[in-house]
Every structure is written in structure tokens, then in C-alpha cells.
Amino acid sequence: MYTYETLIDSYYDEWSEHDWNYADMIRCARDRNPLHALAILVATYNEQVCNGGHQQYFDNGYADGNNGVFRDHPTIDMHDLMISLFTQLNLASDKRFAAAVTIMNMFKEDWDNNEDCYKRDGTGYIDGPAIDRYLADELDDLYYAICDQFIKDFKETINARLQEDTL
């Protein structure tokens, strides 16, 4: 039987054995069990945001699945999948997860290059999508205020559902 931690470890082990990007691993997990995909997506989101904020989560390519700092990140498809899986698995309406899902829903890529691009990455030039640094900082503060309890509750819920799957 899997636990939250062993489930994630098993997929990361499998990932290291293949020539996959992050999105490939998530698709594999989703095809096996959407709950598995959600667990990995949330674990990665939490790890990235708690380590370096929403900016790091975007820049490292986990929001779109093209992991890697020096790659283009044209979408936030994996992030959007995470939100849709909360709904699909009837977790979005759970009051324990409502604040986190609200924060996740606020995270959006910004395609408008005519705005003040200094607010995005500080270079004054953006080619393609980015995220608003000020919004990212705001989301970081909101998430840091709830993340410990959110992850504790999320792990408990995933572990309970994994146990149900084995019965």
C-alpha cells in the first residue's frame, strides 16, 4: 500500500528511469490514477513555492511541465490540471483546501508584453508569457500563511484515499 510519501517517491524513481519531462510523469500518473497525479502536482507546487515562491515554480517549469530553468514555459497546463483534479476528485469544495485552491486559482501567466515588464522579471524585456512578480509575491505571502496546515490536511486526505483504494 502506498502512502503519500512513498507514492511520490515511486513516481520520481520511475521518472529518473525514463527520458521524461515533468509533464510526462504527471500524464503517466493521471492515466494510472488521477489521485496520484494530484498528489505529485501538489507536492511539487508546495516544494517549489515554499523554497523560492511562485516565481520559482513558474521559472523552473513545473507550472507547465517543461521543467528546466532555461526552457520556454508557454503555458501553465500542469498547474491548471492540478486545479481541475481538485474539482474532479471532489476536493475543491473541502473547506480544508478552499484557501489553497483559491490561491492556486489566482496564479496566472501574463501574455501582455505592453505592460510594465519590469514588474515581471526586472529586465525590461519579456518575450512570451511570464508572471507578475508583484502578484507572485502576494500569492507567496498568502500561501505561506496556510501551507503547513494545508499540506498536513492534504497528506492525511491522500493517505486515507490511498487506503480506500486498497480495500
Contact, 110 vs 131, CB < 8 A?
yes
Percent of the chain with pLDDT over 90: 59
Instruction: Name the pTM for this structure.
Output: 0.86
**Cα gap 116→17, rounded to integer Å:** 43
Closest among 49, 73, 76 to 137, alpha carbons compared: 49
Average pLDDT over residues 96-116: 78
Q: Helix H segments across the chain?
A: 4-17, 22-32, 34-59, 77-88, 98-106, 133-166
Average pLDDT over residues 75-93: 92
Closest among 11, 5, 41 to 28, alpha carbons compared: 11
Residue 40 confidence class, pLDDT cut points 50, 70, 90 = very high
Q: Which residue has the higher pLDDT, 86 or 66?
A: 86
